[in-house]
């Protein structure tokens, strides 16, 4: 007989499962966390290597000569920017045309759902300027993009200068097989979103933009440059994009290979690489770098102008120049050479970058962990949920032991109605919908009645709805079916556990970091909450492990990891701004973290809250 169809063996398995369920769950959880922490240990990672045959090695001769002239152009740009009070469109158009590019502009405007206090904007109007360098002998089927943002104040002037210097140098070469588009975008991400939407003829976020007059073919790769000082000590590579999407690892490999060839110090997450992986401090450094990447990826926001390209299957990264207190400095000519080398190699591409990994974590720029290695960490956490579900299923299927009181038996034997399970589900999801829609809709009413700004109104409404949800659902089932039956909460918990497993699984597939962080806090809650645990303590623990508090702790942890720890009050203000940025990201660029948390994760957590207060 088979293993599962033989009743004796089945009973043995079932009893094993029910007896050892809690210990196995605990072991799985520890194993999952340990696996995750072990990912940063260097012997468990792989060295990065170029996978794309067409890009080969760094076998080009970089000859960009005009770094100083580029810096001069940057200073001119800065002066004109001050005079124009924004983007100096005419000067940029004239300069690009004099360098032999085909220049076009695009106007765009957007009214944010509520004012953005971080960047101090509400009604955004701007212009993007871009020049296309046509490939001398090739058909106009493919393009590469180099972009620099036009930032207010003194930022990123040198980036625009280097961009224009490279444009002039590239124009004199005959070996370009793809068009190169030099883009200067205003209002960083909003401008970039307008340009990309115009280029690809999509309109997903309700922005107003004028159509693009000139196009260059399908974009194969893009680099965004952020450079705010004349000399830099290191170059930082930013990979995380919208919704935690990452560019192909070959782009990072290309950058690292050229950094090594030219001899520039290169970092990722702003942290320098260390050689002593076997020491405790070396290992913790790698863990910090990896945790920074995980947190940035989980936030789902684009951490550079490149983040919006990824959605269109265009591999893109941002290169930031960092000027810190180090003796060895790199000048603009070297940065220009590095970019020239990278673009020559990208020029050799025959098809889009696809040979290397799309899902990876990087504990340092020279080592990576691929999806096959990090997914088991999440799998172990999801296993806990499945074990719990099996346990509940077994409990529901076995009849309860006979007691003397026949009446009580009969009551317990009745299966719970669909309504008693459906009601908490519907109410939790309605609360989620309220959390998603109310903050923005009622900001005017809130501003009328309370002395707060619009942004504060939105954020505080969100927190208020979240907290109100704690009180609302768990009373309703008493109104409907009287005293909760024993099996009622078990069925609800079974449904909730499976729902959470599917939800976290799907999230982890798309954005592993978000899925893992949510799993870390929600899986213990889901596994151990029953109506029988001590109420006050478990209520407290549940609130601590709820998504909102996870976010609060993540904010503090993020600041710690970046070596800029904040006091509690500053951290709280930062937390509020993070919530408002999350809502804005969703409205402006289509980030999915806020709707995911509000519409799916929060109702799921409310179901468990409901179970806690079942009796």
The residue among 300, 601, 243 whose CA lies nearest residue 432 is: 601
User: Which string of DSSP letters, residue by residue, matches 332-373?
Assistant: HHHHHHHHHHHHHHHHT-SS-S-SS-SSEEEEETTEEEEHHH
CB 138 to another protein: min, Å: 4
Residue from 176, 357, 368, 512 in contact with another protein (CB under 8 A): 176
Question: Considering the complex, what minimum distance in angstroms separates the CB of residue 266 from another protein?
Answer: 21
> How distant, in Å, are the alpha carbons of 168, 174, 176, 460 from that of 142?
20, 16, 11, 47
Binding flags for another protein, 539-578, as an x/- string (CB under 8 A): ----------------------------------------
Q: Which of 3, 43, 61, 399 binds another protein (CB under 8 A)?
A: 61
In this complex, which beta carbon is closest to another protein, that of residue 59 or of residue 533?
A: 59
- Binding segment for another protein (CB under 8 A), chosen from 59-67, 200-208, 296-304, 407-415, is 59-67
Query: Packing angle between helix 418-441 and helix 454-471, nearest 10 degrees?
Result: 170
Fill in the per-residue mask, 18 to 37: x = in contact with another protein (CB under 8 A), - = not in contact: --------------------
- Which runs of E-coded beta strand occur in 96-247? 102-116, 121-133, 142-150, 179-186, 208-209, 218-226, 234-238
Q: Tokens standing for 570?
A: 């500053």
Per CB under 8 A, does 175 bind another protein? yes
Q: Which of 6, 16, 56, 202 binds another protein (CB under 8 A)?
A: 56
Instruction: Choose, by CB under 8 A, the member of 28, 39, 50, 60 that binds another protein.
Output: 60
Q: How many CA atoms lie within 13 A of 260 on its CB side?
A: 13
Q: Tell which one of 177, 452, 548, 587 touches another protein (CB under 8 A).
A: 177
Binding test (CB under 8 A) with another protein, winner from 30, 59, 544, 573? 59
Q: Which is nearer to another protein, 176 or 516 (CB)?
A: 176
Q: With residue 526 as reference, give the H or E element that holds it.
A: helix 512-528
CA atoms within 13 A of residue 188's CA, in its CB half-sphere: 16
Would strands 142-150 and 218-226 be described as parallel, antiparallel, or unpaired? Answer: parallel
Exactly one of 18, 51, 109, 173 binds another protein (CB under 8 A); which one? 173
Please, what is the Cα angle at 581 between 244 and 447, to 5 degrees? 155
Distance, CA of 279 to CA of 561 (rounded, Å):
19
Which region among 83-91, 167-175, 438-446, 566-574 touches another protein (by CB under 8 A)?
167-175
- Which CB, 253 or 554, lies closer to another protein? 253
Q: How far is the CB of 70 from another protein (least distance, A)?
A: 22
Query: Could you tell me how many residues of this chain bind another protein (CB under 8 A)?
Result: 19
Site for another protein in 331-390 (CB under 8 A): 344, 347-348, 350
Provide CB contacts within 8 A for 584, sequence distance 6+. 112, 113, 114, 116
Residue 320 CB, nearest distance to another protein (Å)? 27
Cα dist. 416→15, 74, 408, 427 in Å?
25, 72, 15, 18
Binding to another protein, residues 250-309 (CB under 8 A): none
CB of 353 to another protein, least distance (A): 15
Q: Alpha helix (H) ranges present in 99-187? A: 157-171
Of 24 and 54, CB closest to another protein: 54
* Least distance CB 219 / another protein (angstroms): 17
Find the shortest distance in angstroms from Cβ 1 to another protein: 12
Q: Which stretch binds another protein (CB under 8 A): 174-182, 381-389, 468-476, 505-513?
A: 174-182
* Residues between 129 and 158 that touch another protein (CB under 8 A): 135-138
SS (H, E, C) 226-269: ECCCCCECEEEEECCCHHHCCCCHHHHHHHHHHHHHHCCCEEEC
Under DSSP, the state recorded for 211 is P
As measured in angstroms, the least distance from the Cβ of 260 to another protein is 16
* Binding range to another protein, per CB under 8 A, among 156-164, 175-183, 414-422, 518-526: 175-183
Q: For the CB of residue 292, give the shortest distance to another protein in the complex, in Å.
A: 35
Pick between residue 157 and residue 333 the one whose CB is nearest to another protein.
Answer: 333
575 touches 552 (CB < 8 A) = yes
Q: How far is the CB of 13 from another protein (least distance, A)?
A: 24
* Beta carbon of residue 137, minimum distance to another protein (angstroms, whole number): 5
Binding mask 93-132 toward another protein (x if CB under 8 A, else -) reads: ----------------------------------------
Q: Which of 69, 50, 71 is nearest to 59 (CA)?
A: 50
Can you read off the two tokens belonging to residue 530? 């029953």
Cα within 13 Å of Cα(294), Cβ side: 25
Contact 286, 363 (CB under 8 A): yes
Can you tell me the distance from the alpha carbon of 171 to that of 173, in angstroms, rounded to the nearest whole number? 6
Decide if 93 contacts 563 (C-beta within 8 A): no
| Residue with Cβ nearer another protein (175 or 450) | 175
Give me the least distance between CB of 180 and another protein, in Å please: 13
Complex with another protein: residue 3 or 123, whichever CB lies closer: 3
Alpha carbons 551 and 614: distance in angstroms, whole number: 27
Q: How far is the CB of 228 from another protein (least distance, A)?
A: 32
Cβ closest to another protein, residue 191 vs residue 341? 341
* Residue 330, beta-bridge partner list: 232
Please tell me the distance from the alpha carbon of residue 500 to that of residue 608, in angstroms, as a whole number.
Answer: 10
Q: Which range binds another protein by CB under 8 A, 49-57, 227-235, 549-557, 558-566?
A: 49-57
Residue 142 C-beta: closest distance to another protein, Å: 10
**Pairing verdict, β 234-238 and 121-133:** unpaired
Piece of 56-64, 164-172, 463-471, 484-492 that binds another protein (CB under 8 A): 56-64
Q: Which is closer to another protein, CB of 347 or CB of 507?
A: 347
Site for another protein, rule CB under 8 A: 53-54, 56, 59-61, 135-138, 173-177, 344, 347-348, 350
């Amino acid at each position: 007989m088979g293993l599962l169809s033989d009743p004796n063996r089945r009973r043995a398995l079932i009893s094993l499962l029910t007896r050892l369920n809690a210990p196995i769950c605990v072991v799985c959880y520890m194993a999952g966390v340990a696996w995750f922490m072990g990912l940063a240990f260097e012997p468990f990672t792989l060295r990065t290597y170029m996978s794309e045959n067409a890009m080969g090695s760094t076998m080009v001769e970089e000859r960009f000569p005009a770094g100083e002239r580029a810096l001069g152009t940057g200073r001119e740009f800065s002066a004109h920017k001050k005079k124009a009070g924004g983007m100096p469109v005419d000067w940029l158009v004239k300069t690009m045309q004099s360098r032999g590019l085909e220049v076009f502009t695009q106007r765009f405007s957007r009214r944010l759902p509520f004012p953005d206090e971080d960047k101090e904007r509400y009604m955004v109007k701007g212009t993007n300027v871009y020049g296309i360098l046509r490939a001398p002998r090739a058909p106009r089927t493919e393009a590469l993009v180099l972009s620099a943002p036009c930032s207010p104040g003194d930022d990123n002037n040198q980036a625009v200068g280097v961009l224009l210097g490279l444009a002039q140098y590239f124009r004199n070469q005959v070996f370009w097989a793809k068009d190169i588009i030099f883009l200067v975008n205003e209002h960083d991400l909003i401008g970039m979103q307008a340009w990309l939407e115009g280029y690809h003829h999509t309109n997903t976020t309700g922005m107003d933009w004028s159509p693009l007059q000139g196009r260059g073919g399908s974009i194969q790769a893009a680099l965004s440059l952020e450079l705010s000082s004349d000399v830099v000590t290191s170059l930082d590579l930013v990979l995380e994009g919208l919704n935690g999407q990452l560019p192909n690892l070959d782009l990072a490999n290309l950058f690292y290979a050229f950094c090594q060839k030219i001899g520039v110090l290169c970092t990722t997450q702003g942290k320098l690489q260390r050689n002593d992986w076997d020491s405790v401090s070396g290992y913790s450094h790698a863990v910090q770098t990896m945790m920074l990447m995980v947190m940035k990826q989980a936030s789902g926001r684009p951490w550079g102008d490149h983040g919006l390209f990824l959605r269109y299957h265009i591999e893109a990264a941002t290169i930031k120049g960092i000027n810190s207190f180090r003796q060895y400095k790199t000048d603009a000519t070297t940065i220009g050479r590095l970019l020239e080398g990278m673009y020559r190699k990208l020029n050799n591409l025959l098809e889009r970058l696809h040979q290397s990994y799309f899902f990876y974590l990087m504990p340092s720029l020279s080592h990576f962990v691929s999806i096959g290695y990090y997914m088991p960490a999440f799998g172990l956490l999801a296993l806990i949920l499945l074990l719990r579900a099996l346990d509940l299923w077994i409990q529901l299927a076995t009849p309860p032991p006979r007691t003397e009181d026949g009446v009580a038996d009969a009551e317990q034997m009745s299966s719970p109605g669909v309504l008693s399970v459906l009601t908490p589900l519907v109410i939790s999801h309605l609360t989620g919908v309220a959390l998603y829609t109310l903050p923005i809709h009622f900001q005017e009413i809130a501003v009328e009645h309370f002395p707060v700004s619009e942004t504060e109104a939105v954020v505080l409404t969100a927190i208020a709805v979240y907290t109100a949800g704690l009180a609302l659902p768990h009373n309703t089932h008493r109104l409907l079916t009287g005293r909760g039956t024993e099996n009622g909460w078990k069925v609800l918990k079974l449904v909730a556990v499976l729902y959470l497993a599917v939800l976290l699984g799907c999230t982890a597939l798309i954005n592993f970091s978000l899925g893992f962080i949510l799993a870390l806090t929600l899986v213990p809650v889901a596994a151990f909450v029953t109506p029988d645990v001590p109420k006050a303590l478990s209520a407290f623990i549940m609130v601590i492990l709820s998504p909102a508090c996870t976010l609060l702790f993540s904010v503090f942890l993020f600041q710690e990891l970046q070596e800029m720890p904040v006091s509690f009050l500053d951290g709280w203000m930062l937390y509020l701004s993070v919530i408002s940025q999350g809502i804005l990201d969703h409205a402006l660029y289509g980030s999915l973290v806020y709707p995911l948390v509000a519409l799916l994760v929060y109702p799921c957590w409310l179901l468990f809250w409901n179970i806690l207060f079942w009796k």
